[in-house]
Amino acid sequence: MTDREKEILDILKYDPLISQKELADKLCITRSSVAVHITNLMKKGYIKGKGYILKKDNYVTVIGGSNIDIVGISTTPLIMCESNPGKVSISVGGAGRNIAENICKKDINTKLISAVGNDLYGNTILSECKNYGIDVDDCYISNEDSTSIYISVLSNSNSTHVAISHMDIINRLDTHFINSKHTSINDSIAIVIDTNLNEDTINYITKTYSHIPIFIDTVSSSKCVKIKNMIEKFEVINLSQKEAEVLSGIKILNKDDIIKCSKYFFDRGAKKIFITLKEGNIFASDGKNNIYHNITSESKNMKENLISTIVYSHINKFDLEKTLKELI
């Protein structure tokens, strides 16, 4: 997509009934030039036909992981290599699925593109998503791979001692599969992805849908490195302190370090970053404005809601300060 085509598409998203003459006047080009650009956008699939039909409904597409979380918590001090008394819980999870749920809860139409097995756990995930109102019609359902499972063992103080993640099925969300869902993804008003996706898929999405705001959750310190060379491609990067440190190579010990760390991202073209600090507070910046948000005891559990709040705020054109206030 050319820069001019992107300009026209951005205008059409906000004013789909605008005439070609009005477009020409707005862009200071001839009407015939507008007609050529409109034809090219139609050929490329960005516009469906006459009347500049861009989408059926406004919705956000989340592309990422889904899994079943199995958590065992010891009721006594944990003894390794022994059987420990405790409690075990099973719930639906996965970064992409959790994000989709949180966005949907904000009354935003939400589509989830994930991969699950054609098994009990996969059917449970799809059923739970449908109950929330999440569109899962474009999920990959495998007869060969089992649904992802994350198992963790916690001590009686709730600290994780060991965890195993089996997410091989996420590799089914390759560039070929993503391309097969082009129409659905291309009609989104925003795209959210997580770094459970492989690097080639992330790169393909950012290149193919650069005309749509793309938000990314970096998931973990081991998986965040996948975006090291594509920092500039995201509308917002949502990181933990550890993930920010790994990507920037800067250890965060104080506020000066946070500013140095953020400069690393903005020097590489980042638009906005949100860093959840170890003490639970949040640092947000757009390169010009830096805001520290103190998490109250009542909102300690809001961390997983951060990316959905960011997307909600973007849609409603909130600034950084108002975005962070939405977390309260």
pLDDT tens, residue by residue, 77-107: 999 999 999 999 999 999 999 999 999 999 8
48: CB partners within 8 A, 6+ apart: 42, 54
Residue 278 is predicted with a pLDDT of 85
Quick one: average pLDDT of 238-245? 96
Quick one: average pLDDT of 277-296? 89
68, 91 contact by CB (below 8 A): yes
Quick one: average pLDDT of 58-85? 95
Question: Distance between CA atoms of 219 and 177, rounded to whole angstroms?
Answer: 22
Quickly tell me which residue has 């809601």 as its tokens. Answer: 305
Residue 119 is predicted with a pLDDT of 97
The identity of residue 12, as a single letter, is: L
- Model confidence, pTM: 0.80
Element (H, E) at 164: strand 160-166
Quick one: average pLDDT of 304-325? 91
21-35, 99-113, 155-169, 286-300: least confident range: 286-300
> Does 13 score more than 90 pLDDT?
no
Question: Distance between CA atoms of 161 and 328, rounded to whole angstroms?
Answer: 31
Residue 247: which pLDDT band, with cuts at 50, 70 and 90?
Answer: very high
Burial label for 87, CB within 10 Å (0-12, 13-18, 19+), is exposed
169: CB partners within 8 A, 6+ apart: 115, 116, 117, 140, 142, 145, 146, 147, 148
Quick one: average pLDDT of 6-16? 82
> Does 255 score more than 60 pLDDT?
yes
**Among the ranges 2-6, 18-22, 132-136, which has the highest mean pLDDT value?**
132-136
3-state DSSP helix/strand/coil percent for the chain, to nearest 5?
40, 20, 40
Residue 53 is predicted with a pLDDT of 52
